[in-house]
Chains A and B, each alone.
Chain A
C-alpha cells in the first residue's frame, strides 16, 4: 500500500492557462474523489468516480473543470482558462465501496493562479 499519490505537488500558472492534475489512488480502490480546499477552510467535495463512471458532480464544478478516470485507475482533473479564484489545494481520495467507508487522502496539489 503506497497510498494515494498526487502530481504535481505544486503548480503555478498564469490566468487563462489550462492545468491538469493527476491522482493515482490506492490500487484496488474502486472509488476516487476530488476535493478542493482554500486557506482556512475545510475541504469541499467536487466529484467522485466509481470505477470509470463519474457518479456525482458538485455545483462547485464549473464548466471549466473536467475530471476523467478512463480505465478506472488513475484520474485527471483539468481546469481550463484558469482564474485567480481557482487558487486552492486540490485533494484526491480513494476507498473501496461497501468495504471500508473511510477515505484515504493524498497530499494534494497546490495551485496558484497569478
Chain B
C-alpha cells in the first residue's frame, strides 16, 4: 500500500464544511483511496473510496486530484457527531486482505 500523509489534527465549526486533506504521492495506478473514521470507543467505520473520479455518498464527498497524488475528504455540514479520527488509506482493489492504517487526522467539531 502506498504511504499516505495526513495532518495530525484539525478543528472545524459545526454546520460548516470540513475539508480533510491526504497526500499519497507514491500511489500506483491500481490503488484506490479509502477513507475510514473512528469515533471514540468504536471500531473504524467506512466512509467512501475512489480511484480517480470524484465520488459522493450520503456521508461525504471525495475529491481526487488529476495526478492522483492527493485527495480531500469533504464533510459538507459537520456535526458534533463527526468528531473522530479520520484515516486515509491507499489500497489496491481486491488486494485481498489488510488495510494499513496510519495515524489519521483527529477532527474536532466545535459548536
Chain A residues with a Cβ under 8 A of chain B: 4, 33, 40-45, 48, 55-56, 58, 91-93, 97-98, 101-108
By a CB distance below 8 angstroms, the chain A residues around B43 are: 4, 91-93, 105-108
Number of interface residues of B (CB under 8 A): 22
Q: Interface centre among A43, A44, A56, A108, by most B CB within 10 Å?
A: A43
- Which secondary structure dominates chain B's binding surface? loop
Give the contacting residue for A56; candidates B45, B93, B97, B104; CB below 8 A. B97
Instruction: Knowing A105-B45, A107-B42 are in contact, say whether A42-B98 is a contact too (CB < 8 A).
Output: no
| Residues A107 and B97 in contact, CB atoms below 8 Å apart | no
| Residues A98 and B94 in contact, CB atoms below 8 Å apart | yes
Tell me the chain B residues, 24-73 only, with Cβ under 8 Å from chain A: 34, 41-46, 49
By a CB distance below 8 angstroms, the chain A residues around B96 are: 55, 97
Known: A33-B98, A93-B43. 5 other contacts (CB 8 A): A41-B103, A42-B101, A43-B99, A45-B99, A97-B96
| Residues A103 and B99 in contact, CB atoms below 8 Å apart | yes
A53 to chain B, nearest CB (A): 12
| Residues A42 and B42 in contact, CB atoms below 8 Å apart | no
| Residues B49 and A42 in contact, CB atoms below 8 Å apart | no
Task: Answer whether residue B15 sits at the interface, using C-beta atoms and an 8 A cutoff.
Answer: no
What are 23 residue pairs bridging A and B, where the CB atoms are less than 8 Å apart in the complex?
A: A4-B43, A33-B97, A40-B103, A42-B104, A43-B44, A45-B97, A45-B99, A55-B97, A56-B97, A56-B98, A91-B44, A92-B43, A93-B44, A98-B94, A101-B49, A101-B94, A102-B46, A104-B46, A105-B45, A107-B41, A107-B42, A107-B43, A108-B43
